[in-house]
Amino acid sequence: MQLLITNDDGIKSPGLLALVRAMRPLGQLAIVAPDRNWSASGHVKTMHRPLRAYPALLEDGTPALACDGAPSDCVALALLGLVPDPVDLVVSGINPSANLGHDVTYSGTVTAAMEAAIAGTQAMAVSLDVPEGLTDDIDFAPAAQVAGQLARKMLAHPLPDGVLLNVNVPYVLHDNPHLAVTRQGLRLYRDELIERSDPRGRPYYWIGGEPPSGVAEPGTDVWALSEGQVSVTPLQLDLTAHDQIDSLKGWSLA
Ligand code: MN
């Protein structure tokens, strides 16, 4: 098996290294990851500047390619031939915060997996629900082990074209964690506009505010994490609101 490992936090992220370690027993690994942090960059296709990829080493000496594009660019380059062998599975992560509900549209971790799905390759995004404020010595190992289990399942039971897995792992995992198959839940964003002035008196802006919360409706990704369960959500790239098609046809558009 040929696997491609990527992330959105950059090639130096410990979450990437943990994922690489967990995936190594599954087959040949290619690692193509951004050379810097692209978190919350969404789905990007870089078209108006050249992209570069250069050899890099992970902390344990594993050879990799660092790319100056977005996570989705890394996947595109890899699948278009930067990785010479056909890729059986793309795994993106491990992101050090959960990607739930509408987060999937912002997430570089998830959109890297979406890029793989567009290319017709099996893909999984893995995120860890790290507690607020914990930034150092994050333990990615339990989540990496879950990712390894799920990757084996995916290789044995490929998903249809255009479908990918969004996996979110609670930070504290029980010995035999329950894997809940979930649907996308609802995030509650608490963004606030922060306006300040630069040294020349011109305004600049930040999107600030509290971190998002969520609605823990049973069966959703938000709920699974709130219950201490691993959330496994099948996502599809067809975003059509099918139940609105007939209503729209009633508009009698010319
Ligand atoms: Mn990230």
Q: What is the 3-state secondary structure (H, E, C) of 229-249?
A: CEEEEEEECCCCCHHHHHHHH
Q: Taking Cα atoms as reference points, which of 127, 118, 164 lies closest to residue 146?
A: 127
How confident is residue 236, by pLDDT bands cut at 50, 70 and 90?
Answer: very high
159 vs 125: CA distance, rounded Å: 14
Ligand 1 centroid–CA 15 distance in Å is 9
Instruction: Encode burial over 190-228: b for 16+ CB neighbours within 10 A, e otherwise.
Output: eeeeeeeeeeeeeeeeeeeeeebebeeeeebbbbbbbee
Cα 101 to ligand 1 centroid, rounded to whole Å:
16
Instruction: Give the mean model confidence (pLDDT) for residues 207-216.
Output: 94
Q: Report yes or no: 80 and 69 within 8 Å, Cβ to Cβ.
A: no
User: Angle 204-8-31 (CA atoms, 0-180°, nearest 5)?
Assistant: 150
Rounded average pLDDT over 227-240: 97
Q: How far is the CA of 38 from the centre of ligand 1 (A)?
A: 7
Residue 99 CA, ligand 1 centroid: distance in Å: 9
Q: Report every protein residue that has its C-beta within 5 angstroms of ion ligand 1.
A: 8-9, 39, 95
Residue 238: what pLDDT? Answer: 95
Taking each helix axis as running N to C, give the angle between helix 141-156 and helix 14-23, from 0 to 180 degrees, rounded to the nearest 10: 40
Ligand 1 geometric centre to CA of 56 (Å): 20
Which residues of 179-241 form beta strands (DSSP E)? 179-181, 186-197, 203-215, 230-236
What's residue 184's pLDDT?
A: 98
β partners of residue 49: none
pLDDT at residue 174, as a whole number = 83
With a pLDDT cut of 70, the percent of the chain lying above it is: 100
Contact 25, 148 (CB under 8 A): yes
Which residues does residue 220 pair with via DSSP β-bridges, in sequence order? Answer: 183
Distance in angstroms (rounded) separating the CA atoms of residues 112 and 106: 11
Domain 2-185+216-249, CATH:
3.40.1210.10
pLDDT beyond 90 at 252: no
Query: Per-residue pLDDT tens for 112-133?
Result: 999 999 999 999 999 999 999 9
Q: How far is the CA of 92 from the centre of ligand 1 (A)?
A: 10
HEC readout, 3-23: EEEECCCCCCCHHHHHHHHHH
Confidence class of residue 166 from pLDDT cuts 50, 70 and 90? very high
The residue-averaged pLDDT of 77-84 equals 98
SS3 50: coil
Return the SS3 of 43.
coil
Whether cis (ω within 30° of 0) applies to the bond prior to 94 is yes
Q: How far is the CA of 57 from the centre of ligand 1 (A)?
A: 20
User: Hey, what are 90's tokens?
Assistant: 């793309």
Q: How far is the CA of 58 from the centre of ligand 1 (A)?
A: 17
Residue 107 CA to ligand 1 center (angstroms) comes to 7
Phi, psi at residue 100, to the nearest 5°? -120, 150
From ligand 1's centre to the CA of 127, what distance in Å? 9
User: Percent of the chain scored above 90 by pLDDT?
Assistant: 95
Q: What is the mean pLDDT of the chain?
A: 96
User: How far does residue 16's CA lie from ligand 1's centre (Å)?
Assistant: 10
- pTM of the entire predicted model: 0.96
